[in-house]
Structure 1
Amino acid sequence: MKYAHVFTFGKIGSLMLKNRVVMPAMGTRLATADGEMTDQQIRYYEERAKGGTGLIITEFTTVDFELGRAAINQLRIDDDCLIPGFRRLADAIHTYGARVFVQLHHAGRETTSYLTGGKQIVAPSPVTCEAIGEEPRELTTAEVKEIIQQFVDGAARCQAAGIDGVELHGAHGYLINQFLSPNTNLRTDEYGGSFEKRMRFIEEIITGIKERCGADFPVTVRLSASEFEEGGLDLPLSREIARYLEKAGADGIHASSGNYNTMETVIESPLYEEGWRVYLAEEIKKEVNIPVFAVGNIRDPQFVESILEEGRTDFVAIGRGHIADPEWVRKVAEGREKEIRMCISCLHCVYTQGPIECSVNVRAGRELEFLKMAKIDEKRSVVIVGGGPGGMEAARVLALKGYKVTLFEKNSKLGGQLNLVTDPVYKKKMKKYVKYLNNEMARLNIHIRRNTEASVELIKLLDPYAVLLATGGIPYMPDIEGCDLHNVCNYRAIKVEDSVLQGKKVAVVGSGMVCHSTSRRLSEQGNEVILIEVLTDSAKKISPMTRKKLQEKLQNEGIQVVTDHEIVKIVPKGLILKEKETGKKVEIDADQVVIAMGVQAYNPLEHPLRMEMENVFVIGDAAGNTSLADATREGFETAYALESLVKEPALK
């Protein structure tokens, strides 16, 4: 078998798993405001179980809803009335032969008084988390013992609900992590001081669960094997912790990393290499005989097989990859690797407001809304203009529904703006997504007319049932004095038209991925580059950690980054800026100014088409939207609901 190690049975304690793939805990915000399980939440997990995953670990589930939650709409397991909801979850997952653990969690200092109803947040010691900025109250010894009991009670409720085991969230800077770390545990009672005393909190939780639920009820621990923070948990200390946890009765260790102060090592930006954290699991595995889970930016089936084959880990946790494609495991098992919709690490799932969303999988968190792809009764023709992500997603869905789809793309390559990504690490991820979309076009027999500028006449010849315009955008040029000078150009001249500047002093204006990649290309061509960061709509879609990482990478490559300034005007030999705080004007010398502030809608066909036919729909950048998530969502939703949107007849 091609993936023999992936599809080998595995054991956690006495529990048998059908393969070595785990879906780790990830927040969904799909619970009710009171932390109760919802039908949509169950369906979300059920879909991943149906997709073949061996073990599903629920999102972090608080054992203390009053002081222990870290997010709105977070699951809770601190009351017996919640057991039926978890029972329904367990039953749904077990239907497909998968197993389910609940991740038991207490936030400690990594929450806010907003979430605790105005009460001061709590921790082992009054050490403020820099990322939170609120000083916690030190827990009394009696309160510590109460929280231990809350973990034990939570595990007992899980067992009563038919859940297969629990994972203790001892990572990412939450309460258990705070007891383990010398940085955050400064206590002088029985739960702090020496290594053994810092271990006592989690040891008593494990012991309590085993006594209450039985020795065969699995208890694993998610551990930040390195917090990547001076004085915090590191590999030497975590090796010792791992050995101690095994003796205490833990049945497995999930080797993660980071805390809120080092968040980009918890949930990686697009700029991290695949599997960069596997070495943490590998080192922990050398210390223990219980199974170890590797996690962190793992996507590719061959990579998963290789780290299992090499004995670097016992199980592989694929997190955001399961959000992007719930059928990851099934597609690998059936030899359909090209059909896997790979996660691109864009962090949209993390930073979107409200329930979970995915830039490349519109159904994520909305599985109940899009239960079935209804087939049409008769063959109908649909024309799509534009081969970017929105146009291709619409084409994919329409083809699955039975439409005959013709897609016009004026260039030779499909992918649109996705082809402009140049950061070496991010480009690899984006190329995989573009390759997936191209493969879907071929697999579903979608007629692609490359190097063809669509026109009203060409479209009318196909007598379409509907037309979807996904013509994208053109570079946005701001209303700044001097933008029309000869020393000013837009980013397309550099990235698409391959204009080469060498030995020049170049100022790049903008923000976002295109802006950063333009700056990098200019630097690689031998120019002295200064980036004037001006916040744009597209840049607002980038997570703070990705933005920070991008800035650091540019600075490491010798590119100067100027923030907190406004552009007054562009002049023949540079720009004049104004410092936002002081109003002081600063002149920047530059031979060339490159505007890279995103796109504005390009939609020349809408008006003439509407003069000829009824059913014209505009999606993505062409409709004035600026993100991959918007384009994908509009392409999917328009195609999914097309029959209800169409007015007959197509042609007037």
Structure 2
Amino acid sequence: MQRKYPNLCKPIKIGNVTFRNRMFGAPMGGTDITADCTIGPKSKAFYELRAKGGAATVTVSECVVHPETEGSHMYHLDLQTVDSLASFTYTADAIRRHGAIPSVELSHSGQYAGTYLTDKDKKGGMAQWGPSAGTRPDGKPVKELTQELIDDIVAAYGRVAGLAKRAGFEMIMVHGGHGWLLNQFLSPFFNHRTDKYGGPLENRARLALEVLDSVRAAVGPGFPIEFRMSGSEFFEGGYTLEDGVEIAKMVESKVDLLHITAGTYQTGFGLTHPSMFEPHGRNVYLAAEIKKHVSVPVATLGGLNDPAMMEEIIASGQADIVEMARALLADPFLPRKVMSNQDADIIKCLRCFTCMAERAVTSTRRCTVNPLIGREMDGTEIIPTANPVKVLVAGGGPAGLEAALTAAKRGHQVILCEKGDALGGILKGEQAIPFKYEMYELGVTLEKLARDAGVEIRLNTPVSKDYVDQQNVDALIVAVGSEPIVPAIPGLDGDNVIIVNDYYKKKDQVGESVVVLGGGLAGCEAAIHFAREGKPVHLVEMRAELAPDANLRHRPLMMNEIEKCGITVHTELKGLKVTDQGVVCEDLAGKEVLVPGTTVICALGQKPLRNLAESLVDCAPYVIEIGDCVKASTITTAIYQGYHAALDI
């Protein structure tokens, strides 16, 4: 067949191993790390799903090589812990049996040990070791590694690499980026040593070179070693891209693949893992520059999810390989869809950070758009039913679309009714905000997949009790959604007011300056959009803080954007009335304050359409309410409830 993306689909040989395409699964931390730091069965299934989806390699992350100086609750691999070697063996086998190459990331967090512990108090009692003594930004003291400990850590990298090979892994990734230990030695910001590991770059690179030699001695010639390094640290005092080029040249003779990431744990989370506020591929230029100076293959990554962009990266010679992590959570089958020219069916990552926030809060994984993530063993995969029935879905937002698609995949006869003239629900409003456009695309893709699966879609069709009675259905899924909260504030119905949900239909009506009334997640993101357009923006919130509904990974990045864009923030102000000059508010002292703006964007939240939902509860043998009509919530909730409602029929 003629492939639409021939460069992306082309095999590549690295060392003595041939990889089936150029789409690699970047490291992702698992979902159930046991008390003994072995790979639990859920994590094995978590990694296996990526292998089934067609990625060329799947990398298990992170395996801590030296628990004596880095006792984080991440994977450990040794012969002393019962099931340690076995858990890695079963995982490597689960990945390899689907044609993907199993890889494992060897790591040491150095002075940031304990970062991913859910119990943040526990890390206070851990030893924090780094290249130099000092104090972390959070006040934790750091001890300087002795020569004896350095030698022990170097040997540990080799020992664990040998065990990984024994377990069936066919590639080793050495983590030398993101502010972890090897990066700390490379960085002039962290490394103030005066011995052979400090000073000029050739000394600061010494530990990384010793580690790579140790790994090579353990795995032998031809066994692929991938070195993950930050092309630039992106902060004052750290190393630059020019330094990154020199580091790459120093290590290339010892590795088979250079994996060029970016930034450091200390300052660059939203750049290392590009947020929705950053352009896709914003770090590719680092790999492209380094590739000019080395002879080994180079991989790039960072918010990549568009096959056309990834094809161009390889075709133009910017990199040899693209790696994805979040994109393969959103759609593990992205590589197979690319290989079979079905790229229009890809569910794209929203870069919303639900996956990373969930890991930090509950030590599990979840993906907004993929209800299987972290729950691969729960018996919730889609299985065709032996008893197909007639199903009516009321509402064409994300919950209704996911429910209809899932029910159709199971073999049911599905009708989806939408009262409006287009599907997507609240997602339709995101098409006007460039950094949220993929949320709009989610609705478009779900509609395509639903139609392809045989769902009968009826637009401009409100659902009532009489309508359901006429259809004589066996199951009714109520997904009628929510409506904007528009309180009885004088003037809020004026011509200079736009409900945030309707902005996409009224873009041309926005004036020269904007007041966003409501500082929740939707209001904050709308304010950023208008500020990026060059408009003066005032953001008004009645509570003491902005966006408590944003997740803990997304919120700090959004707050930075608000500051960077120069948005004027007003908290603890209550809107009293809207005039042609802006919004008159009341502060805590009872004083009236005018917040000026020619256009007012109302972003005061959503309320569930309970009356409509409750009118339908007795209309079929099986009735379930899902999504915003139950409680105004998130896309994550809508997708999960829609999926499981269909499974329960």
Counterpart Cα distance in 2 of 1:405 and 1:198: 63
Counterpart Cα distance in 1 of 2:555 and 2:14: 39
- The C-alpha deviation readout for 1:79-124, integer Å capped at 9, x for no partner, is 4541111111111111122111110011112234745471342211
Report what 1:645 is aligned to.
none
Aligned to 2:8, what secondary structure does the other structure show? Answer: coil
How many angstroms does 1:315 deviate by? 1.1
Matched residue type, 1:65: P
Report what 1:235 is aligned to.
241
Q: 5 Å matches for 1:121-520?
A: 121-130=128-137, 132-247=138-253, 249-260=254-265, 261-352=267-358, 353-354=361-362, 355-370=364-379, 372-421=381-430, 424-477=433-486, 483-487=488-492, 491-492=499-500, 495=503, 498=506, 506-519=514-527
Matched residue type, 2:177: A
Report what 1:608 is aligned to.
615
- The C-alpha deviation readout for 1:105-150, integer Å capped at 9, x for no partner, is 11112234745471342211234443x4423222222222222222
Aligned to 2:231, what secondary structure does the other structure show? Answer: strand
How many angstroms does 1:517 deviate by? 5.0
Aligned to 1:33, what secondary structure does the other structure show? Answer: coil
Counterpart Cα distance in 1 of 2:502 and 2:99: 53
Aligned to 1:471, what secondary structure does the other structure show? Answer: coil
How many pairs were matched up? 629
- The C-alpha deviation readout for 1:432-483, integer Å capped at 9, x for no partner, is 32221121121012111111111111111111111111111112357xxxx5
RMSD between superposed Cα atoms in Å: 2.8
Aligned to 1:329, what secondary structure does the other structure show? Answer: helix
| Structure 2 residues without counterparts, runs of 5 or longer | 115-119
TM-score when normalising by structure 1: 0.89
Matched residue type, 2:44: I
Query: Would the aligned equivalents of 2:70 and 2:127 in 1 still touch at CA under 8 Å?
Result: no
How many angstroms does 1:4 deviate by? 2.2
Aligned-pair identity (%): 29
How many angstroms does 1:188 deviate by? 1.4
Change (3 A) 1:526 1:96: closer
Match of 2:537 among 519, 522, 529: 529
Change (3 A) 1:452 1:75: same
Matched residue type, 2:640: R
Matched residue type, 1:462: Q
Counterpart Cα distance in 2 of 1:411 and 1:510: 26
Report what 2:117 is aligned to.
none
Counterpart Cα distance in 1 of 2:169 and 2:543: 47
Report what 1:649 is aligned to.
none
How many angstroms does 1:513 deviate by? 4.5
Matched residue type, 1:311: G
How many angstroms does 1:157 deviate by? 1.2
How many angstroms does 1:518 deviate by? 4.1
Change (3 A) 1:549 1:537: closer
Matched residue type, 2:75: L
TM-score when normalising by structure 2: 0.90
How many angstroms does 1:212 deviate by? 2.6
Higher mean displacement: 510-519 or 630-639: 510-519
Change (3 A) 1:237 1:504: closer
Query: Would the aligned equivalents of 2:480 and 2:628 in 1 still touch at CA under 8 Å?
Result: yes
Query: Would the aligned equivalents of 1:476 and 1:597 in 2 still touch at CA under 8 Å?
Result: yes
Q: 5 Å matches for 1:494-643?
A: 495=503, 498=506, 506-519=514-527, 528-533=536-541, 539-544=547-552, 546-551=554-559, 553=561, 559-562=567-570, 565-568=571-574, 570-571=576-577, 574-576=583-585, 578=587, 587-590=593-596, 594-642=601-649
Aligned to 1:637, what secondary structure does the other structure show? Answer: helix
Report what 1:646 is aligned to.
none
Matched residue type, 1:560: T
Counterpart Cα distance in 1 of 2:528 and 2:94: 49
Counterpart Cα distance in 2 of 1:588 and 1:205: 62
- The C-alpha deviation readout for 1:248-281, integer Å capped at 9, x for no partner, is x122110000112111011121122222211111
Aligned to 1:363, what secondary structure does the other structure show? Answer: coil
Counterpart Cα distance in 2 of 1:206 and 1:606: 61
